Chain A
Amino acid sequence: MYVVLDGFDIGVGILLRIIGKTEKDRDVLIKSIGPVWDGNEVWLLVVGGILFFTFPKLYASSFSGFYLPLIIVLWLLIARGIGIEFRHIIDNPVWKLFWEYLFSFASVLLSIFFGVALGNVVRGVPLNPEGYFFEPLWTTFTIVPAAGIIDWFTIIIGMVSFFTLTSHGANYIVMKPKARYSSGQETLLKFRGGVFY
């Protein structure tokens, strides 16, 4: 639920500077997710809450082992939030540009990090008998002997996540905002499914 709902506003964030060539287009794109982006993140809290009371061992182990990437994800979520909320405070092109790029940059990294996290779960982590583990952010980018959180496999899954959420956001952009786009961007949106997947 979280990935589907927050996925499209992450996708809109990734495409903000690509699709929104004019300030008006970018206004419309941000307004199209404005009322819902923070609501969508409620599901992230639901996931944390459910883990805490039903699978406390998993909660303890993963929040301990993935401490650094979780803190990075938290900062990226904060960067997205302030990117949207601070953008309109001062009507100055440089001010708006800064927050738009911050919002897009955080969205790109967040989409990749979610994929990397999924890749780690699929690949497995070096759990000890007590159920704890530690992984550095990266080692040699290989799977063996001691893989980091980022290796060639998790990067692939991260890129799949990036393209999937970008495409999901593109589908939302076509469906929701009534914005005008140039012909090049129309072509991009027409092939939003096939090119990315």
Chain B
Amino acid sequence: MSTKISVKHSLNLLGNSIALPFKSPQILYPFGILAFIQVFLMEIIFFATRMPLVKIFGPIIERLRGPIFLHYPFNFDLLANIFQAFQPFVFIFISSIIIGKAVVIVVQLNEGKGVDQMPKLGLKTCVNLMVAFLMIYIIASGFVAGYDLLIRRAVRIRSTAGFYFLIKQAVLIGAPYFNLLFSIIITTLLAYLVPLIVLAKQNIFIALWTNFKMIGKSFFMLLIIIFISSLFYVPVLLIQSNQQWLGSFLSIEGWQIFKIFSVLLLLFIDAIQYTAITTCYLLTKEE
């Protein structure tokens, strides 16, 4: 498959991947479970500061964060912080398994098989998936930490006009977009890791090696698919970076609903990306 053809195909593949959840909603089931876990987590943290759960969680929150976070509206700050703190665990231990199952469902749907229940993954596969996601998390954290260093340096730029000022503004304002770009690059470079572990039953190290061997054949195709599908998240980033201004129009609860929406959107994007990645993997493997 030449790169030219791949690029041409990528838009078709992306279109099919977007349409698949609507044609075969079974692909969304694993992500539905993930959405349930995330929203349930939010609910528990939200009610942790209210009666009757505050009797259990109140003293812990008071000791760790201070008594003010038990009261409105600071409970929403607490919700955001604790939810964020849980995300690495959710990503490594839950998302890994759920995405693995989603990949199996995509294959079953491609083969024209019906999907009556969630596919089962062996313990070995689950462990390999968790290690793979831990690795992805470490790499992503490395990028974020590196960017933080850049931000610290940019903050020290004193210029209020000119080229250096532009650099400073680009680094500071562009932070969420650069992070999205890092995430696109990482997802593309390690795209076949999950299909290789789940479908080819390879262990993480072999899967990693095979991934890099295979990725060269369809890198641009994947990059375009993942880049375009990630653009759906840009409006969320735009809204988030204008939080202060929008805060005067939106109530605190409204903002929380927006956060839930952004989590669900992220899961939908994941569903599209892994549908496309799995299809791409099957095409590349056939070659």
Please say whether chains A and B are actual partners in one complex: no
Residues of B within 8 A of A (CB): none
